[in-house]
Amino acid sequence: MNRREFLLSAAALALAPRTTLAAGARIEILPDEPAGTISPLIYGHFTEHLGGCIYDGIWVGERSRIANVGGIRKSVIDHLKRIQAPVIRWPGGCFADSYNWRDGVGPVDKRPTRTNFWAETDILRKSSGGPQKYEPNRFGTNEFARFCKLAGAEPYFAGNLRSLNAFDFYEWIDYCNSPRGKTSMADLRAQGGDAEPFDVKYWGVGNESWGCGGDFTGDEYAVEFRRFITWVPTFGIDLKYIASGPNGADYAWTHSFFQKMMEHGRGGLNRIFGTALHYYCGTTGNGVANEFDTAGWYELLNRANRMEELVTRHWQVMGGYDPEHRVKLVVDEWGAWHHTADPPIAPNYLWAYYPTLRDALVSSITLDTFNRNAEKVAMANAAQMINNIHTSFLAAEDKFTVTPVYHVFDMYAAHQGNTAVRTVFNAPKVSDPAAKGIFGLAGSCSLRDKRLVLTVTNPDVQNAQETEIAIAGGARIQNARATVLTASDIHARNTFAEPEAVRPAAAAAVQVGSPFIYRFAPASVTRLELDLA
């Protein structure tokens, strides 16, 4: 029996009742201590005109032999529906602040071709052409709105603050949301095939305005932000404006932005839905996604775990100006970030590689952080959705696979809309010196009606964690189901040739008591669904 077979058979038996509770770790769930509602929006995605994200990723064209719906790759639509993808951000990213939305509307044959923002990257500089280098604007506002509708997700538009002005932003909202036949913008929208409004609620005002989005300081950006959101037509929609926020641990940016916004009184904060934090935990070693040792495994997971500190400290800064916390955090770019595969998965693809089991654990650590901080984080968007960075999907021509990252989103979809409840994890830290003090077990728990969803990451490469699980107040567990994501090799990944090398395994439901013992497999992500009597 190989390691994978052993782990999966162990998962099937792990919920068996024990007469004696003797475990090295303990998880106590406190259902009567809610921590806020887990917004489905924190399970959002992001796609940019960057490498193979749009062209050959989402968009294959109406005449493609690849299964599509109006030119949009059908396999992506189907899989997004499965995980109940709630929101998708577009068109960037850095691309957004070089993008004129008018280029991507109206008759397709009249849309201009532009040089893509990313054309000067090494791969594209050497390329002779293609839609990744020379943007054809075939996929524009109408196509993106249709894609979101097909996937069942809300569209989240990132406006261009660096190279367009406030009136352009104003007219883009008019284009998307004005009633059928009532304005020239509505008529223009109809020329693109959509007479009815898109009713877009979520609007980002610039992207990374501390860097590629204008190189502003926080207070300089606040002036621009106010200009963009003042007296914009709502068409009866509660518009949710998202301000460009800090880069990682840049707490000075958060201070500066909120301080400047407060010059006009606290009323100005009422118009901000959230401020956008960006944090990538990056890569390790030589940057190749599947070339790392045990130390590199733990290093990346420790970096992912830093999200807790970033969320907590930025929240504290925001609270100094906004004690009621009307403004929430939006983490609309996050994930690991490795180098482009060599040889590349496809020509002109940038930062495309096959994510490994390690990237799946980066995802579980991050999503559990958001769940635990449900009162703080209103939206999050993994970067990116397909063919780039921390991707859930890989596609090249007619080849397609989901990644280990996707499987974590699938497992965690059960948390969406639930009430996060306080959960206490007591487990010895990983003993390997290379782990540098990483936690032994971490996770989150949520409640809906009488069902608890507990998700747990065991980062230990070698050791399972025998754990006592108890429900405070003496509640009895009636049924339990386990789903486990792990593999025999921590470098395992799904490729076009082996699309199921990493996939979850479900154990049959069994009767259990409370408390009970569960063995968390090494290097694993586990979802336990517990039905209370």
For the packed helices 141-151 and 166-177, what is the interaxial angle rounded to 10 degrees?
A: 50
DSSP string covering 7-55:
HHHHHHHTT---SS---SEEEEEEEEEEEEE--GGGGEEE--SSTTSTB
**Active-site option among 48, 171, 333, 468:** 333
- How many C-beta neighbours within 10 Å does residue 230 have? 11
Per the DSSP assignment, residues forming a β-bridge with 484 are: 505, 526
H runs (alpha helix) in 156-287: 166-177, 184-191, 218-229, 251-261
Coil, helix or strand at residue 188: helix
DSSP secondary-structure letter at 65? S
H or E segment and range at residue 365: helix 357-372
How many Cα atoms within 13 Å fall on the side-chain side of residue 457? Answer: 28
Task: List Cβ neighbours of 360 (8 Å cut-off, separation of 6 or more).
Answer: 404, 405, 407, 408, 485, 502, 525
**Active-site option among 208, 224, 299, 468:** 208
Q: What's the sign of the alpha-carbon dihedral 286, 291, 295, 296?
A: positive
CA-nearest of 162, 155, 25, 41 to 91 is 155
Q: Token pair of 146, please?
A: 């249709």
Phi, psi of 417 (to 5 degrees): 80, -5
Cβ-in-10-Å burial (0-12, 13-18, 19+) of 366 comes to buried
Q: What amino acid is encoded at 300 in this protein?
A: L
500 is catalytic: no
Phi, psi of 402 (to 5 degrees): -90, 155
Q: Is 12 left (phi over 0), alpha (psi -120 to 50) or beta?
A: alpha
Alpha carbon 385 to chain centroid, angstroms: 8
333 is catalytic: yes
> Could you tell me if 388 and 381 are in contact, meaning their C-beta atoms sit under 8 angstroms apart?
no
Would you name the residues annotated as active-site residues? 208, 333
